[in-house]
Structure 1
């Protein structure tokens, strides 16, 4: 029997805070890109956060063993996590933070498609297929609806948007590997450690090979590194994993659309990013699609209640 429960006030409050944090992270990366490249910043935050997670595991007495069957999928998710943020870091050099956060958070769509193929228990329902259709329609509008007059550098921005979409596919693939391997039974800290170490190794190498390793340590850069290391990569991920163990995932998934929404607002407010009408029109079905795919159980329940209420009112 599933012991996880429906959302209460604490869960709602924590999810709102998490969505604000995740919506802000691309904006902060973009804001400090002149002093530290996004790739190098993500590498540094991953390395320090990996050290913190390792210390937490040591304090809890958690041990990693090759005998539990997690190291092979652990290496894979580490590489996928690193690839995801390598694409994010490179994409932010070409597109806006608001674009990146919307395309990156299409990851649940690709995760749902992969899990549908891999696990019989994760077969997609009718509402989820509707959500996937809406999300891809929104992506098409956001990509191909813009004109020369709505973007100062449409080719570069399209390339950055495309990298954001590839990052979402890498994130979705990470979810599939975790859910369909021994990592599904491993402690959350162990999975997170694999991801952080993989990102640190891959992104540090990329930063040095591409000449993006130089850092101008300004107060803004120090603040950004502290935010990304302590708040994003360490605290927020651990809180998210805790929520998944305590509450129904379908209820938590309903909040997913708030992250790209916050990203758009923060990008326009803090970075003065221009939001093209075509992108905004495309973002709406994308976010609706994310809700239908991630929170389909809750949506179906609400639709069922609405239908019953209409029947009762008609009597």
Structure 2
């Protein structure tokens, strides 16, 4: 699952950069495919449907759309490190909205994560990414907000993916055709490659990897599973350097290491109000 999540960042970079798929359109296609795959889960309408759709948009299409916009210029390696800010942001929003109490150890973790992200942004890969990393950070903010309010919903994680896909498709398709152009031309230019990216992001990652991830929590304790997900940013850096030629210097590695240490402290400390899987996987 870590390999698939890391590859998803590289594949998305390929889709919105080299294949020139409009990012909102790409996010909408991915969401539509998730809806088709999980359609049987839509038979039962959940309680507080408007809130489910709003939260689903935040943790799925909304945060993904911002990430894809950022990946038009940001490198996968730098984007992977900046995405780590989702964990401390989730804790901070939990303090604000859920009255979560944070002791000094997690406070140190929050500070370390943001410090590591700042160091990574100052690396050659981060500086070359320019404005793209601002959108990646905005993606982390939106995903963290959605993660906190997901706590207040009585709906399963996989079922939430289906409704998140509905909300995302309903919002992103109109937005794409209002704000973007060239949707048909980009698909026609590279139909097989574009279809492969959408299928990978929608079916293999969102439906396959995420569903498997949440099933693990039915069998094992969160403290056993969540720390393993910290491999994802490390693999993202490796795949970025290997597949897209990202410049990986000591500053990016140092920033990533500091941020990972901070996130590790955050996810290992007990939390009464945050669903731990959403600390490190803030989007569905």
TM-score between the two structures when normalised by the length of structure 2: 0.84
Which of these residues, 28, 50, 54, is aligned with residue 72 of structure 1?
A: 50
Q: Compare 33-42 and 46-55 and name the one that shifted more.
A: 33-42
Are residues 1:63 and 2:35 paired? no
2:2 aligned partner: 19
What runs of 5+ residues in structure 1 fail to find an aligned partner?
A: 1-17, 298-315
Shift in alpha-carbon separation, 1:254–1:139, aligned structure 2, 3 A: same
Coordinate RMSD, CA, aligned = 2.2
2:175 aligned partner: 206
What runs of 5+ residues in structure 2 fail to find an aligned partner?
A: 271-284
Q: Deviations over 1:195-232 (max 9, x none)?
A: 21222233323332221523134433232222112111
Q: Is the 8 Å Cα contact of residues 22 and 181 (structure 2) preserved in structure 1?
A: no
Deviation at 1:106, TM superposition (A): 2.3
Q: Distance in 2 between matches of 1:39 and 1:170?
A: 15
TM-score between the two structures when normalised by the length of structure 1: 0.77
Q: Distance in 1 between matches of 2:210 and 2:138?
A: 21
Q: Compare 24-33 and 189-198 and name the one that shifted more.
A: 189-198
How many residue pairs get aligned? The number is 264
2:280 aligned partner: none
Q: Deviations over 1:155-189 (max 9, x none)?
A: x623111111111111111110101x2x2x21223
Larger Rg: 1
Q: Distance in 2 between matches of 1:275 and 1:202?
A: 36
Q: Distance in 1 between matches of 2:29 and 2:53?
A: 19
1:291 aligned partner: 264
Moved beyond 4 Å, runs of 4+: none
The within-5 A match list for 1:60-209 is 63-65=44-46, 68-69=47-48, 71-80=49-58, 81-120=60-99, 122-143=100-121, 145-146=122-123, 150=124, 154=127, 157-179=129-151, 181=152, 183=153, 185-208=154-177, 209=179
Q: Distance in 2 between matches of 1:54 and 1:284?
A: 40
